[in-house]
Amino acid sequence: MLQTPIADAAQICLRVRGLTVAYAEEPALQGISLDIPRHQVTAFIGPSGCGKTTLLRSFNRMNELIEDARTEGVIELEGCNIFQAGVDPAQLRRQVGMVFQRPNPFPKSIYDNVAYGLRIQSSSSRAANLDQEVESALRRAALWDEVADRLDAPALTLSGGQQQRLVIARAIAVKPAVLLLDEPASALDPISTLKIEQLIHQLKSNYTIIIVTHNMQQAARVSDFTAFLNAGRLVEYGPAEAVFTNPKERQTEDYITGRRG
Amino acid sequence: MRASLNIATLPRRRRWIDFLTRAVMALGAAAVAAVIVLMLAFLVQVAAPLFLPAAIAPSTELSLPAGHAKLLRVHPSGDAALRVDADGRISIFALSDGAQLQSRWLDATVVAAKPVFLANDLHAVLDSAQQLWLLQTVQRGGARRPSPELNILFGGRPIPVGAVIDYDLAQQADGTLKLALLSPTALQVRRLPAPFTTVAPSGGAQSHTLEDGAERVLFGPGGRWLFTLGGTGATVWSIAPRVGLQPFANTPLPGALPLHSATPLLGRQSLLIAGDGGVAQWSLSRAGGRPHLALVRTFPLAAAPRTMVAERQRKGFVVLDETHNLHLGHATSGRILAHRKGTVGMDAALALSPQADLLLALEPSGKLHRIPLLNAHPEVSWATLFSKVQYESYEEPAHIWQSAAAHTDFEPKFSLAPLLFGTLKAAFYAMLFAAPVAVMGAIYTACFMAPGMRRWVKPTIEMMAALPTVVLGFLAGLWLAPLIEANLAATAALFLLVPGGMLLFAGLWRRLGENFRKRCEGWQGLLAVAPMVGLAAAAIHLAPTIESAWFGGDLKAWLFAVHGIDYEQRNALVVGLAMGVAVIPLIFAIAEDAIHAVPPHLADASLALGATRWQTVTRVILLTASPGIFSALMIGLGRAVGETMIVLMATGNTPITDFSIFQGMRTLAANIAVELPESEVGGTHYRLLYLTALLLFAMTFAFNTAGDLVRERLRMRFGSL
Ligand SMILES: Nc1ncnc2c1ncn2[C@@H]1O[C@H](COP(=O)(O)OP(=O)(O)O)[C@@H](O)[C@H]1O
Ligand SMILES: [Mg+2]
């Protein structure tokens, strides 16, 4: 079942076809097919364990790192199958950045965290304007004002909300095309959550953003398109207002009105 | 009905269990701490007396018959003393109450009396009739009161010696005697038969003319040398059987002429010569090819020395100066250890008990001072333990550990420097081998190895830690050491070819098909075994060819000939390998745990930013694990420092300070194991071994503490847990 709310094929950034992922022969995703529009925010919602994270991690091939994970199907990034031979996962991940559910800054300074992705690319020309790039990433992540005077402080001294914005800054410093956010606000207080949501709004113009969230209001607030997954299957996918105000599927309605889950 | 909330007390059972766990834990911790403190206290208690200051205790006096004693000497049993007076009376008295036990008169007055060198109970008395009487004091066993016997040897007959200024006697190993006679114009050495015969003394004599005005003659070490002193200086004479009586160079004795008094120290390698400013130690030196007396050190005193007496079992001495002050000194440690202000008359004769714990001073009035000396460990001072010391018959000051020798009159050399050096050297070479292997192995196992393989590899390596070190030491000393010695070239080739070759293989590996590589992902370690074995075989096979092509067929001989590198069979290489094998499992296990414990979300973060596996490992995982890796290395080092069995069996245990990988060493731990069983309980050597144990304890403690501190700092910087 292919659901695509996007009429214009030129707008498609990621195209997923028949994606099946299994952990140790236990399927976590089954036959997912969907299109993700460029420079829009797409939200994945669904009950715990339905496969949202798995789907997200498929976009940057992070599932490969799990020993017994098997993936079938096709994901095309700007028309190019990311699973085909010759695609270097490291290169792919520079294009598809990811922010994890739990903030995971490196045990290094704030500056070194943001500069990490740039440094490992090891082109010497980058070193010259590293300071600028770090600053601009921190500014775009709305963290600059809070940390400008203590860039050398350990990142682990930041608060949870600041850490989450730091790892977003770290991810966007390498200028990916796609940004994957896995429940970026699940562990945060309302004010930090608000900041992250504002941030997503700002980033939208430059990045294709996919966000996983548990929070219906949040999904409704930040996303342009929403996909509802359940038990490893894509149940419904469409423009956010449509999914939230007028869900086509019974399961979706039950879930968003809280009758299930 | 409403259930009442009970938040005030825990249920009894839980409280009880809570209390019990806490009590058991506290008890365990306290017991561990107590054991460590007790151990430390015991070590300190045994070692501390080494540093007690020496003292000359107040004297107790006895009244003896008046008379000018020419010789006062305590009998080896320590309870009676021999006294030879100028008026010809020879007596033996009990030390406890001064009671006279034996007494005889010579027909003439006594000019001089002295003990015979290298004999226990022989004394030679020169009378005014120019004859020499040989006295023997024999202690009869079994008696409650000292009951010495006084014999005049050679059938009670004296030996006529003619007009002499001075004389000396030494007993040879076969019981015969050598008699040196100094007259104004000649030096003569006579051989006398063993004194217990009734044969009238006669025998060969050697003599040499003399014109430097010498006043004293003394036998030197082993009775094979002679020293003459006075006149223009000091001369060393050889009396080797074939060479005859031969003088070597004459050394001036600045500040000591005209000669006042001179006393040989134990073993007679050194003489104490009184001078203007105090006492000087002169030793027989062969530096420069010609044996001569060389000034070793001086003991400055405020007043001119008057009488000296040397200890019989150590290199210690007592000086009585002209202001009636007593000084207790020790040659090797170069110190005057204790003083005591004027209680003893200037003309008193001095004697020391065999153990040097009692000083006798007999004044001509008959007043006998009995002065206890508290001086158990004069050899030990911080300077003798850690600085270079000028030992007898060494050309220059040196760090030497030599606690025992075949003869009893040697100078103990208690420098801890060679042992500390050996300990650190062994640990260094072990770590040189073990640290890279263990840490790299840990990195590979934790980061790259397939989980299936890791499940086998990790426990296997950890099991190696259970290998008894005595087995490792045994293998290293008896199997590996000769093997390496016989195949030195092959060993060197192995060390170069295997790692180098593996790098080459790693390069080739990248050229293999990606599919094949992917399938082997995580199992490369297993695949690497084949080329490794191949390379090792190649190295062993090629070694003889290389050896004959470049090293003249024998690498060992080549090393010695071209670079002067000496090869000892049991050397630092063998120890490094064996001890490396002992510490690798330890370092590996801790480091692997630390690396494996790095939260996977950090690696994920790095990989998600487009880092390669290798970048992730080097820039994130190792950094985060660095506190753990560091403490693994520190624990390994602590273990290597304290390791005993391997160094004991795989080194030659020679306490040398040579950093060469082909030389052995002696470590603190091995030294304790070797020497403790044969050291006298409570003696200086015994206590010193405890001090080294304390030092070892301190060293491992310091390494562990330093490791902990650094790890804490690293953890604060890089820790993420
Ligand atoms: N590493 C893994 N190994 C095995 N099973 C996993 C693993 N990660 C996720 N799963 C399983 O896959 C399913 C989907 O998980 P996930 O994608 O994390 O769900 P969500 O993010 O929607 O909560 C769950 O049933 C989960 O148990
Ligand atoms: Mg999830």
SS (H, E, C) chain A: CCECCCCCHHHEEEEEEEEEEEECCEEEEEEEEEEEECCCEEEEECCCCCCHHHHHHHHCCHHHHCCCEEEEEEEEECCEECCCCCCCHHHHHHHEEEECCCCCCCCCEHHHHHHHHHHCCCCHHHHHCHHHHHHHHHHHCCCHHHHHHHCCCEHHHCCHHHHHHHHHHHHHHCCCCEEEEECCCCCCCHHHHHHHHHHHHHHCCCCEEEEECCCHHHHHHHCCEEEEEECCEEEEEEEHHHHHHCCCCHHHHHHHCCCCC
**CATH number of the domain encompassing residue A142:** 3.40.50.300
Out of A62, A67, A121, closest to residue B604 by CB: A62
- Say which residues have a Cβ less than 8 Å from residue B661's Cβ, sequence separation at least 6: B429, B571, B572, B573, B576
What is the model's pLDDT at position B324? 92
Q: State how far the Cα of B427 lies from the Cα of B417, in Å rounded to an integer.
A: 15
**What is the Å distance from ligand 1's center to A30 Cα?**
13
- Tell me which long-range contacts B287-290 makes (C-beta under 8 A, separation of at least 24): B287/B395, B290/B248, B290/B249
Report the alpha-carbon distance of residue B657 to residue B654 in Å, rounded: 9
pLDDT at B721: 43
Contact between A139 and A168 under an 8 Å Cβ cutoff? The reply is no
Helix, strand or coil, per DSSP, at residue B565: coil
Query: For the segment A180-227, what is each residue's pLDDT rounded down to a tens digit?
Result: 999 988 877 888 888 889 889 988 888 999 999 888 888 999 999 999
Rounding to the nearest 10 degrees, give the CA dihedral for residues B443, B449, B453, B457: -10
Query: In a 3-state reduction of DSSP, which class is residue B98?
Result: coil
Does residue B615 belong to the interface with chain A, where contact is any CB pair within 8 Å? Answer: yes
B595: how many CB neighbours lie within 10 A of its CB? 24
Domains of chain B by range and CATH? 62-386 (2.130.10.10), 417-483+567-718 (1.10.3720.10)
B255 in contact with A at a CB cutoff of 8 Å?
A: no
Closest CA to B493 of B429, B437, B555: B555
Chain A residues close to B617, C-beta within 8 Å: none
Tell me the C-alpha distance between A173 and A93, whole Å: 13
* Of B360, B260, B342, the residue nearest B307 (C-alpha): B260
Whether residue A67 and residue B451 make contact (CB cut-off 8 A), yes or no, is: yes
Minimum distance, in Å, between the CA of residue B517 and any CA atom of chain A: 13
pLDDT in tens, B568-619: 888 899 999 999 999 999 999 999 999 999 999 999 999 999 999 899 999 9
Q: What is the mean pLDDT of residues A17-25?
A: 93
Q: Is residue A9 part of a domain?
A: no
Classified as helix, coil or strand, B582 is: helix
pLDDT, position B707: 83
Closest residue by CA, ligand 1 atom 1: A66
Q: What is the pLDDT of residues B207-262, one digit of tens each?
A: 888 888 889 999 999 888 999 998 888 999 988 777 778 888 888 888 777 788 89
Which pair of structure tokens corresponds to residue B410? 């040697």
The residue whose CA has the least distance to atom 7 of ligand 1 is A23
Task: Considering only the beta carbons, identify the residue of B602, B607, B609 that sits closest to A170.
Answer: B609
Subunit contact B608:A174, Cβ cutoff 8 A: no
Domain of residue A122: give its range. 39-61+86-228+235-256
User: Contact B411/B269 with Cβ under 8 angstroms?
Assistant: yes
Are B237 and B281 contacting, i.e. CB atoms less than 8 angstroms apart? no
pLDDT score of B2: 54
Protein residue with least CA distance to atom 16, ligand 1 = A51
Chain B environment of A153 (Cβ under 8 Å): none
Do β-strands A208-212 and A41-45 pair in parallel, antiparallel, or remain unpaired?
A: parallel
pLDDT at B492 over 60: yes
- Predicted confidence (pLDDT) at residue A2 exceeds the cutoff of 60: no
**pLDDT computed for residue A60 by the predictor:** 93
Q: Is A27 domain-assigned?
A: no
Please, what is the average pLDDT of chain B? 88
Q: pLDDT at residue B7 above 70?
A: no
d(CA B391, CA A169): 71
Is A77 within a domain? no
Relative to the CA of A57, which ligand 1 atom is closest?
17
pLDDT, tens only, B44-98:
999 999 999 999 999 999 999 999 999 999 988 888 999 999 999 999 999 999 9
d(CA B460, CA B525): 15
pLDDT the model gives residue B198: 54
For residue B719, the chain A residue with the least C-alpha distance is: A107
Q: Which residues of A touch B607 (CB under 8 A)?
A: 62, 65, 89-90, 93
How far is CA B182 from its chain centroid?
A: 40
Residues of chain B positioned with their CB less than 8 A from the CB of A94: 609-610
Report CB contact under 8 Å: A156, B615.
no
User: Does the pLDDT at position B142 exceed 70?
Assistant: no
Quick check: B34 pLDDT over 50? yes
Report the nearest atom of ligand 1 relative to the CA of A52.
22
Domain assignment present for residue A149? The answer is: yes
Query: Which chain B residue's Cα is nearest to A105?
Result: B602
Per-residue pLDDT, A3: 59
Query: Does any domain span residue A113?
Result: yes
Q: How far is A101 from chain B (nearest CA, A)?
A: 10
Q: Determine, yes or no, domain membership for A173.
A: yes
Chain A interface test: which of B609, B619, B711, B718 (most A C-beta within 10 Å): B609
Distance of alpha carbon B273 from alpha carbon B253, whole angstroms: 9
Within an 8 Å CB–CB cutoff, is residue B661 touching chain A?
Answer: no
Q: Is the pLDDT of residue A125 over 70?
A: no
Q: Summarize the confidence of residues B459-474 as an average pLDDT.
A: 90
Task: Give the C-alpha distances (Å, rounded to integers) separating B256 from B229, B286, B385, B393, B552.
Answer: 10, 22, 31, 21, 59
Nearest chain B residue (CA) to A100: B605
Residue B427 has pLDDT above 90, yes or no: yes
Largest CA distance in chain A: 56
Tell me the two tokens of residue A112: 């070194």
Q: What is the pLDDT of residue B210?
A: 84
The encoded tokens of residue B160 equal 């006529």
d(CA B715, CA A222): 39
Reduced to 3 states (helix: H, G, I; strand: E, B; else coil), residue B468 is: coil
Please answer yes or no on whether B720 and A156 come within 8 Å at the CB atom.
yes
Give B-chain residues touching A170 at CB under 8 angstroms: 605, 609
> 3-state DSSP call for residue B574?
helix
What are the pLDDT digits (tens) for B256-273? 777 888 999 998 999 999
CA distance B574 to chain A (A): 41
How close is the nearest chain B Cα to the Cα of A10, in Å? 27
Find residue A12's DSSP bridge partners: A37
Q: Which residues of chain B does A114 touch, with a Cβ-Cβ cutoff of 8 Å? A: none
Task: Supply the residue whose CA is at minimum distance from atom 4 of ligand 1.
Answer: A23
What is the structure's pLDDT at B1? 47
Cβ < 6 A, ligand 1 pocket: A 23, 28, 46, 48-54, 66
Whole-number pLDDT of residue B547: 84
> CB distance from B513 to chain A under 8 Å?
no
Nearest to B608 among A98, A108, A154 (CB): A98
Q: Which amino acid is at B322?
A: E
- Going by pLDDT thresholds of 50, 70 and 90, the confidence category of residue B401 is very high
CB atoms within 10 A of CB B713: 13
Q: How many angstroms separate the CA atoms of B486 and B482, rounded? A: 6
pLDDT value for A4? 64
Optimal mutation site among A62, A68, A120, A133, interface B, most CBs of chain B within 10 A: A120
Choose among B85, B82, B148: nearest CA to B115. Answer: B82
pLDDT at B199: 56
What is the number of structural domains in chain A? Answer: 1
Long-range contact pairs involving A139-148 (C-beta distance under 8 Å, separation at least 24): A140/A169, A140/A172, A140/A199, A140/A202, A140/A203, A141/A165, A141/A166, A141/A168, A141/A169, A141/A172, A141/A199, A142/A195, A142/A198, A142/A199, A142/A202, A143/A169, A147/A110
Rounded to an integer, what distance in angstroms lies between the CA atom of residue B115 and that of residue B479? 54
